[in-house]
Copies of this chain bind each other. A is one copy, B any other.
Amino acid sequence: MSVRQSLLAILAQGPCYGHQLRHEFDRRTGSVWPLNVGQIYNTLERLERDGLVERGAADPHGHVYWQITDIGASEVDRWLASPVARSQTTRDELAIKLAVSATLPGADATRVIATQRAASEKHLGELTAAREAREDDSPQGLAWSLVIDSMIFTAQAELRWLDHVQTRLAQHPQHALALELASERPKRGRPARAGAAALV
């Protein structure tokens, strides 16, 4: 949803045409996430379908300006006023992967962690280097550095978690997590149940 919402929020500032939207998105996010141009037009058509934007007439240059509707504007307000709903169903790729691979009797969770750790550390190093190499006080530079900082914080948390997992696994007997496939084949309608956990 972030691309869609971002484009809509930019349109809330005034009418734009396709390539201009791409440019604006790039400026504001520090050109960190390159956006395929085609996606702009797809997204605009979907926003139009949903009544959030309107297609204006082409200007002399052939630029097709799009403008936000009232519904679209209120959608932007709603977006800005509500927090990003993390966690509820948001799946974390690494957490899933590690949880699953740690419970596979065959797979070596320690190796998975080591591989990931090396990659994450390399990534963090690249981010830090890029961060220090660039000194830029412009609004764009500020936006860029904040996005990079976000990635740095995330990478650090990832490394901390990896170490944490390794420590906890080391405290348990070999492959304490390993789970065989539930072998009992449940008869129709009366299978064995495992305890369910409620979080949210």
Q: Is the CB of A168 within 8 A of B194?
A: no
How many of these chains are in the complex? 2
Q: Is the CB of A161 within 8 A of B150?
A: yes
Determine if A49 is an interface residue (Cβ-Cβ < 8 Å): no
Which of A12, A30, A91 is packed against the most chain B CB atoms within 10 Å? A91
Could you tell me the distance in whole angstroms from the C-beta of A68 to the nearest C-beta in chain B? 12
| Residue of B whose beta carbon sits closest to that of A171 | B142
**CA–CA, A10 and B179, complex, Å:** 10
Collect the chain B residues with CB atoms within 8 Å of residue A134's CB: 197
Chain A interface: which size bin?
Answer: 35 or more
| Residue of B whose beta carbon sits closest to that of A119 | B83
Q: Is the CB of B80 within 8 A of A143?
A: no
Could you tell me the distance in whole angstroms from the C-beta of A85 to the nearest C-beta in chain B? 8
**CA–CA, A16 and B191, complex, Å:** 14
- From 152 to 177 in chain A, residues with beta carbon under 8 angstroms from any chain B beta carbon are 153-158, 160-161, 164-165, 168, 172, 176-177
Determine if A98 is an interface residue (Cβ-Cβ < 8 Å): yes
Known: A146-B168, A181-B24. A118 touches B83 (CB 8 A): yes
Residue in B23, B119, B146, B172 whose beta carbon sits within 8 Å of that of A98 in the complex: B146
Residue in B27, B150, B165, B177 whose beta carbon sits within 8 Å of that of A103 in the complex: B27
Could you tell me the distance in whole angstroms from the C-beta of A189 to the nearest C-beta in chain B? 10
Q: Is the CB of A87 within 8 A of B194?
A: no
- From 12 to 39 in chain A, residues with beta carbon under 8 angstroms from any chain B beta carbon are 12-14, 16, 19-20, 23-34
Contact mask A88-119 → B, CB, 8 Å, 1/0? 01011111111111111111000110011011
Q: Is the CB of B82 within 8 A of A115?
A: yes
